[in-house]
Amino acid sequence: MAQRYVRVKTISGQTYYGRLQLNRTVEVLDAPPWLNGKVTDLILQESDYRLLPPCAPSKIVAVGKNYSAHAAEMGSDVPKEPLIFLKPPSAIIAHEQAVIYPKQSQRVDFEGELALIIGDRTKGCSIEDAKDKIWGYTIANDVTARDLQKKDGQWSRAKGFDTFCPLGPWIVRELTSGARIQTYINEDEDEPKQSALLSDMVFSPEELVAYISQIMTLLPGDVILTGTPEGIAPLQVGDSVTVEIESIGKLTNFIEASSTE
């Protein structure tokens, strides 16, 4: 199994980056791993911590319609260049945390995605150099209020609600060849709602990093969401949604009603 890098909070409230072991202990690092964090003598037992989102980015850059079949189901052609937008870092939640269904929306969809973690300050990068700028990979769910997306004509509100970016549960350094992404509702693993090869992307991870870096400087720990395959569908309060990517693992979250008046 590939080494899994995590970010955790201890029961006493301290936050650490670390390496997750097969027995669920965490070897604590003295800095984020993409900033050359070194292993310390501190080891956390499973009962000593809870998983946080695996990074705390300055920004989340997301990509729309990066699978041909998804563009078709949205009623549009594949963009001639990457279609990018931003999600706020305040939208991030961890594995097994709740997505809150906002009262402003009548349709909230899942969008399972591969997420890239940037490891180095990146500006004006070439496609050839982009692979070295990607430190690792994790799983994301680009939760979207679909009715608000259509109503507004731009995507900030529809994709920017608190809890609308589940991320995790950990980061790995490499992806296996031919890796597949799948999304399940309520653990119905016999019928994935989404299923596609990561190689089906229109624009590869390296192309996305290079393109985005021509527009904005990417910083270590920043996140790029690479787009969702076809098969999007609405979520209901009480649902669980699991996004699985071979060689990474599973990201599971639960849908809860808003408690605000």
CA distance 99 to 241: 10
Q: Is pLDDT of 261 > 60?
A: no
Dump pLDDT digits (tens) for 87-145: 999 999 999 999 999 999 999 999 999 999 999 999 999 999 999 999 999 999 999 99
For the residues 35-61, what does the mean pLDDT come to? 98
Q: Which amino acid is at 92?
A: I
CB 212 within 8 A of CB 61: yes
For the residues 14-29, what does the mean pLDDT come to? 98
Closest by CA to 83, choosing from 211, 195, 196, is 211
Which segments within the chain are labelled E, that is strand?
4-10, 15-20, 26-29, 39-44, 49-51, 60-64, 83-87, 92-93, 98-101, 108-109, 112-118, 134-141, 144-145, 165-172, 180-185, 194-197, 223-225, 234-235, 240-245, 249-257
Global pTM reads: 0.96
What residues have CB less than 8 Å from 133, skipping those under 6 apart?
A: 118, 119, 120, 122, 125, 209, 213, 218
What residues have CB less than 8 Å from 237, skipping those under 6 apart?
A: 101, 255, 256, 257
Whole-number pLDDT of residue 72: 74
Dump pLDDT digits (tens) for 149-173: 999 989 999 999 999 999 999 999 9
Whole-number pLDDT of residue 143: 98
Closest by CA to 141, choosing from 116, 173, 164, 162, is 164
pLDDT band at 260 (very low <50, low <70, confident <90, very high): low
